[in-house]
Amino acid sequence: MAFWRKLLGALSRFSQAQLFIVMIILIPRLAVAATALALRTIFGISDVALAIPYTNRDDPATAGMLGLFVDRLPIRLELSSADLASANVLLDLVSSATHHAVEQQAPYARIRSQFVSTNDRFIDVLVIYNWQSDALETRLDLGPDVQVTQLSAARAARPKGTMFPLLFDYSEQRDGGLLPHVVYNPDLIPAKIVAALISLLPGLVQGLSGHKIPAHACSTDISF
């Protein structure tokens, strides 16, 4: 109950339009935190910039589009030693960074224009969260001769390639767990780096959900 009182108190600060966005991106903070920890462990960086897809109706270029993730919310996480001392502290940091980004309410194109970059990507890492409630739970009957069945995560078709150097795709499972999947640009990210990230993610997700100290959860013997 304490968690939900704290969550509802935080959400009360937002307008109805903001609340819809926050509810979408606040809950999967576990995936964002695990991604940031994995990047810190493998690349040795403590200042992490991620993006979460969302629809921004304030952007004239995308205002008329429906049913698509047509914009990205940039989130910056500066991971200090204190942030890695407690899972709750790290998850609260993700929530705070998300709130700060939402409160800016600036179209993605305007945010990007404020940065000078040597490439045209701006955000190198995208995090996507697939809700279990959006999955095909049961078999659909479309008539006597047509049936659609749900594919397992291992068999499900996934797009080839990515517009980003790294894309972390998390799928919520029926048992409450998260299944991570990584898509990457092989011209920019070596396969061995991606393999190391993939090997780390399940343990990081499990460690954070079990309130393991992040500094311990991201310890690894992986070397390159």
Domain boundaries, the chain: 2-134+157-217
Query: Cα separation of 78 and 111, whole Å?
Result: 19
Q: What is the pLDDT of residue 75?
A: 85
Long-range contacts of 5-12 (CB under 8 A, 24+ apart): 10/95, 10/99
In degrees, to the nearest 5, what angle opens at C-alpha 97 toward C-alphas 92 and 98?
95
CATH topology of domain 2-134+157-217: Chloramphenicol Acetyltransferase (3.30.559)
Average pLDDT over residues 189-205: 91
Express each pLDDT in 74-87 by its tens digit: 888 889 989 999 99
Q: Which amino acid is located at 217 in the chain? A: A
Query: Cα separation of 223 and 203, whole Å?
Result: 17
DSSP 3-state of 166: strand
Name the phi and psi angles at 15, rounded to 5: -70, 170
Average pLDDT over residues 5-26: 43
Q: What is the pLDDT of residue 98?
A: 82
User: Could you give the count of Cα atoms lying within 13 Å of 64 in the half-sphere of its Cβ?
Assistant: 2
DSSP 3-state of 109: helix
Q: List all residues 6 or more positions away from 21 whose beta carbon is below 8 Å from its beta carbon.
A: 54, 73, 102
Q: What's the whole-model pTM score?
A: 0.69
Burial of 125 (0-12, 13-18, 19+ CB in 10 A): buried
Query: Cα separation of 128 and 163, whole Å?
Result: 13
Express each pLDDT in 137-194 by its tens digit: 444 556 666 665 555 554 555 555 566 788 999 888 877 778 888 989 888 889 999 9
Average pLDDT over residues 22-30: 57
Quick check: 25 and 98 in contact, CB under 8 A? yes
Rg (CA), the chain: 18
